[in-house]
Amino acid sequence: MTRTRTILFWAVAAALVVGHAIMAWHSLVVWRFWEDEAFNLTVPRNLLDGLGYSSDGALSGSTITPFDPRISTGPVVLLPVALLLATGVDPVMAARLVPLAYWVVLLAGLFVIARRIGGRWAGLLAVAVPLAFTTSAGYSPIQGPADLLGEIPAAALLVWALILLPRRAWLAGLLVGLAIQAKLIALLALPAFAIALWVFSDGTGWARVRDLLRRCWLPLVLVATPTLLFEVVALFSLGFSGYAQHVRSLGGFLLSGGQGNAGSTVMQKLGTLAESWSLPGVLAVVGAVIAVGLAATGVALRWRTATQEERIVIAYALAAFVGALAFIGWWATASRLPLWVRHPAPGVFAFFPILAAVAVWAVVRILRPSVVRTAGLVMASALALVVGAGSVMHVIAVSTTPVFTLQAQRAEIAPIAAWLAENDVEWLAASPWGYAVSPIVLSGAHVGLDDAPAMDGVPRLTLKECTTEVLLDTGTYRICAAP
């Protein structure tokens, strides 16, 4: 029986590796380089061109914009991209290899923490959860793990921070700080780490509060350190007046989420989240209920009598629950934010797999042989089937070649790059924001928006018909003379 379980374990592990490899390959070399990736890429490209840590400012007036608050993907992601670009690596590969490396780090972290919680099968289940979660739908997606975005790097750093928290809380604090500088929304994870440190604290009443403060002051300092260093660099680069404007712009961006008022409701958001799994939404909800129910049962049964090892698991369980609730609750109640599951994605990638692992722990190590444990095993098996089915369906979905691939995109961009070089054009205006942004960036030009005053007299790139003189027609894109 032991040998059979070992063979089955490695067979499932191999299937997961193949599934993740298929998704990673398509994300790296098949799917088109889309506009948010391209906008983020302007920062490392401008840095290497001697323009500082600046974007092209397409969403901030269409001028070179140092420390652009609309670039919420931070230096923890973009600086390594700049290093790869400096070696001469193709821009798309340089942009995508860094987030893909973070994806591998995330999966490794999930296996490590889940194995610590509930054994190797819990590790496999945790690694399968991100494969079942799909973020590619909607206007602002995460197409795949290689997208030049900060959500997955932030999730990876948060998971490793949890792994280190019981024994090296100071280093965990630093990783949380780096996660914030990968994606600002990682700030929402702070309550999760606070509750975990509270579980680790000793004593009762004020004695426990004092012990909590003793444990958390250094991690909190290190949480703030990466952001403090980044802001100090911004201050010296921008000067006092420029930095004051930067802070105002950043504050406005954080309060608005960079969006207008979408008028979305809590139920619409929760429905979107339920449908963001590669299986029917009702099954996703059933899986979530099973995971939370089993995890809560295990925590309740061991709350007062937990060993030191079980105390760590309880801390992880509460951190995962609070963390997931913080991300989903913020997104669901922010009516101005659109129905983009990308917003709570860092919390889903980091905390949902941990809850699944705690559910396995509850069944395997807490519930005694009884009718209750039998029911728990049935529910855990159902959870594994739901996650497994979602993973398989997601792999099948991503294996389908999209209509417009990266290869086709490159072919369309080549004549644009040649036209720019021939006519010595440095800026193109995208008309409008969307598909027109990526070809401008990848052709080597700076990108603005056609409605920005700074783009007066600048040629437009569009997928639509020109209303002015056609300067270039690639078949898909057109460069139109400025009106």
pLDDT interval class at 429 (50, 70, 90): very high
Q: Is residue 283 part of a domain?
A: yes
Q: What's the total number of domains in the chain?
A: 2
What confidence tier does 278 reach under pLDDT thresholds 50, 70, 90? confident
Is 46 a member of any domain? Answer: yes
Query: Residue 213 corresponds to which tokens in the numbers above?
Result: 């403060």
Structural domain includes residue 196 = yes
For residue 141, is pLDDT > 90? no
Residue 126: predicted pLDDT: 94
Among 194, 151, 179, which Cα is nearest to 323's? 194
pLDDT tens for each residue of 60-105: 889 999 999 999 999 999 999 999 999 999 999 999 999 999 999 9
Question: For 304-317, what is the mean pLDDT?
Answer: 91
Same domain assignment for residues 269 and 363: yes
- In the predicted model, what is the mean pLDDT of residues 362-367? 82
Whether 147 contacts 349, CB under 8 Å: no
Please indicate, yes or no, if residue 2 is contained in any of the structural domains.
no
Query: How far, in Å, CA of 291 to CA of 120, rounded?
Result: 17
Report residue 243: phi and psi, to 5°.
-70, -35
| Domain end marker among 370, 398, 426 | 398
8 Å CB contact between 430 and 437: yes
> 432 and 382 in one domain?
no
Phi, psi (deg, nearest 5) at residue 219: -55, -40
Q: Using an 8 Å Cβ cutoff, are 423 and 56 in contact? A: no
Residues 426, 282: one domain?
no
Boundary residue ending a domain (376, 398, 420): 398
Q: Rounded mean pLDDT of 273-301?
A: 88
Domain that holds residue 253: 12-398
**For range 391-407, the mean pLDDT:** 75
pLDDT at position 334 is: 85
Beta bridge partners of 470: 480
CB atoms within 10 A of CB 467: 11
Provide mean pLDDT across the span 111-128: 93
Give a yes or no: residue 1 inside a domain.
no
Q: What percent of the chain has pLDDT over 70?
A: 92
Q: Do 417 and 392 share a structural domain?
A: no
Q: What is the DSSP letter of 74?
A: -
Beta bridge partners of 31: 405
One domain for residues 247 and 345: yes
Q: Is residue 98 part of a domain?
A: yes
Q: What SS3 class is residue 478?
A: strand
Examine the domain organization and report whether 413 and 476 are in the same domain: yes
Q: How many residues does the chain have?
A: 483
For the segment 19-35, what is each residue's pLDDT rounded down to a tens digit?
A: 889 899 999 999 999 99
Together in a domain, 166 and 254: yes
> Between the CA of residue 113 and those of 97, 300, 306, 348, 355, what are the distances in Å?
24, 21, 18, 16, 11
Same domain, 336 and 410: no
Is residue 101 assigned to a domain?
A: yes
Q: What is the reported pLDDT for 389? A: 66
Farthest CA pair distance, the chain: 79
One domain for residues 122 and 70: yes
In a domain, 4, yes or no: no
Q: Are residues 65 and 149 in the same domain?
A: yes
Closest CA to 378 of 285, 300, 286, 284: 286
Dihedral of alpha carbons 103, 105, 106, 110, sign: positive
- Report residue 473 as tokens: 């027609």
Same domain, 432 and 383: no
- Which sign, positive or negative, has the C-alpha torsion 220, 223, 229, 234? negative
What's residue 458's pLDDT? 94
| DSSP letter (8 states) at residue 471 | E
- Do 285 and 425 lie in one domain? The reply is no
DSSP alpha helix (H) spans, 133-204: 151-164, 169-180, 190-200
Q: Give the pLDDT score at 68.
A: 93
**Position 180, amino acid:** I
What is the band of 367 on the pLDDT scale with cuts at 50, 70, 90?
confident
Q: Which of 337, 370, 398 is the last residue of a domain?
A: 398
